[in-house]
Chains A and B, each alone.
Chain A
């Protein structure tokens, strides 16, 4: 998608793919046939630039045709550079400017609690986003209101546009920060499905406070030349790179030979 568009954010999309897969295919109560089902769980991609990963997961889950994916970032497409609920109804909240999605997720979780609805709200954050003050405002509110139906999932790939988060503006010890903000905080391998699913199950069992999941991930996961490289935060691959990436990813999806 980022090759076809010749723009976009491949690195942070690949790091979050396993998390989104676990949410949309295993954890969340959603129905592609009823995008406006009131009691569906809500997913807010606060790191809205990881849109390719979400679009791909939504397509495979049946929310949009797979053929539409290559329209990403093109004029007239529903697949905007950053996720857009007005164009694509299965998106819960338009995001992109960082530090806002988590606030909207807090609002949604507050609403569900006011209605005594069994609805759960999942907010997926980037780690560069944790440098933004409003991220912590929103997290503070989630902790203050003891929103046990809220799960904040941090895609901790360690890299942002210009380099590593710790070299630019360190966010560690990040798990301690979540704890200080009154979150039940778990640290996991964000590419291990058993670990992700167990953390989400533990979040469900947590009834008096919100849960934060610090998912340690690899930026550019699955593509050898992208892994751990901040240069692929906002840079699309060349044709040769795209072919290699797709080849590596499809080999991986077929499992070890």
Chain B
């Protein structure tokens, strides 16, 4: 464990505990799950409030419609399953039943990305951020740690309308103080030579690389863009102006993820060199979760190399 990141904690536990607190505050709040409540940790809510917890079994598309129906009656509804089912299996149900209806449903999807590990490529969705971000009216949050997960679970309840929160199966080191705000990027490290924009599990790797670069005199800003939608455009453009180069890190397809968003936003408003570290146009495979990140191009070495390329382009290193 490096000095720049904290102890690894479970995002899913943070979610489950936050749900219980929400359930205590809002007696109308209901929670749905699709036979994965032990893994998603909605079981904690179910044990405390059995009358307001519906485990609908393996019917993820219809879980979204049922959630929408409950929400259209004036309730705040949380619905959880793995990301591959929430965003993949149920896509058009999220689209019509929830988003088209402006239903107040918070989809908290666990097991996003390659870090699902041994379950393999069928279950490692690397397209969900793109799918969910493209839906009109959808809020999209990708927490990097447990404190942000907790804060985001509360924050989406405060904002009327649909939301998608993508959690990771693996425990992640704490990198924030949990002061998450919708639509705001968190500056985890200040810097002037280069900006690393990161979401989810790769925020910690970004901080570690920034620390290494500091040892050779490179000043790296690190922005946690947990709030993918709404997106903090001003913070991104400030970073573009101040540092002149942006490296994006995400455990998601580079085709449709945050890297694509950063590249399009900067090129339209303040063009600077942007490089994307993420999953190439490939499905994953079974294996150790963290080894998969290395295998699919998200190792610390790769991040350092990409940073160096950007610094070369900017004439800051040879």
A and B are interacting partners: yes
Q: What is the CB-to-nearest-CB distance from A160 to chain B, in angstroms, rounded to a whole number?
A: 19
- Given the known interface contacts A96-B96, A134-B93, the answer about A103 and B66 at a Cβ–Cβ threshold of 8 Å is yes
Since A93-B69, A104-B72 are in contact, a sample of 16 more A-B pairs with Cβ atoms closer than 8 Å, ordered by chain A residue number, is A38-B74, A84-B100, A85-B72, A85-B101, A96-B96, A97-B92, A104-B65, A106-B62, A107-B65, A108-B70, A111-B73, A134-B61, A137-B59, A138-B59, A138-B62, A141-B59
Which residues on B are within 8 Å of A, measured CB to CB?
30, 51-52, 54, 56, 59, 61-62, 64-75, 92-93, 95-97, 100-102
Partner of A141, one of B51, B62, B93, B95: B62
| Interchain CB contact under 8 A, A103 and B62 | yes
Say what secondary structure dominates the interface of chain B: helix
Q: Give complex CA distance A103, B56 in Å.
A: 11
Residues on B with beta carbons closer than 8 Å to the beta carbon of A250: none
- Given the known interface contacts A104-B66, A106-B69, A134-B65, the answer about A93 and B101 at a Cβ–Cβ threshold of 8 Å is yes
| Interchain CB contact under 8 A, B96 and A107 | no
* A211 close to B (CB within 8 Å): no
* A112 close to B (CB within 8 Å): yes
Q: What is the CB-to-nearest-CB distance from A138 to chain B, in angstroms, rounded to a whole number?
A: 5
Interface centre among A38, A96, A103 (most CB of B within 10 A): A103
| Interchain CB contact under 8 A, B30 and A104 | no
Q: Give complex CA distance A96, B65 in Å.
A: 13
Q: What is the CB-to-nearest-CB distance from B275 to chain A, in angstroms, rounded to a whole number?
A: 39
| Interchain CB contact under 8 A, B101 and A103 | no
With both beta carbons as reference points, the residue of chain A lying nearest to B93 in the complex is identified as A100
Q: Give complex CA distance A138, B67 in Å.
A: 11
| Interchain CB contact under 8 A, B62 and A114 | no
- Given the known interface contacts A95-B96, A97-B96, the answer about A138 and B73 at a Cβ–Cβ threshold of 8 Å is no
Q: Give complex CA distance A59, B19 in Å.
A: 43
Residues on B with beta carbons closer than 8 Å to the beta carbon of A99: 61
| Interchain CB contact under 8 A, B59 and A110 | no
Q: What is the CB-to-nearest-CB distance from B30 to chain A, in angstroms, rounded to a whole number?
A: 7
| Interchain CB contact under 8 A, B71 and A107 | yes
| Interchain CB contact under 8 A, B72 and A92 | yes
Q: Give complex CA distance A103, B79 in Å.
A: 14
Report A187-228 residues with CB < 8 Å from chain B CB. Answer: none
| Interchain CB contact under 8 A, B66 and A100 | no
Residues on A with beta carbons closer than 8 Å to the beta carbon of B66: 103-104, 106-107, 110, 138, 141
* A105 close to B (CB within 8 Å): yes
Would you mind naming 13 contact pairs between A and B with Cβ atoms under 8 Å apart?
A: A85-B101, A92-B72, A94-B96, A97-B92, A97-B95, A100-B61, A100-B65, A103-B64, A103-B68, A106-B65, A107-B69, A140-B59, A141-B62
Q: Give complex CA distance A97, B68 in Å.
A: 14
Interface centre among B56, B61, B65, B68 (most CB of A within 10 A): B65
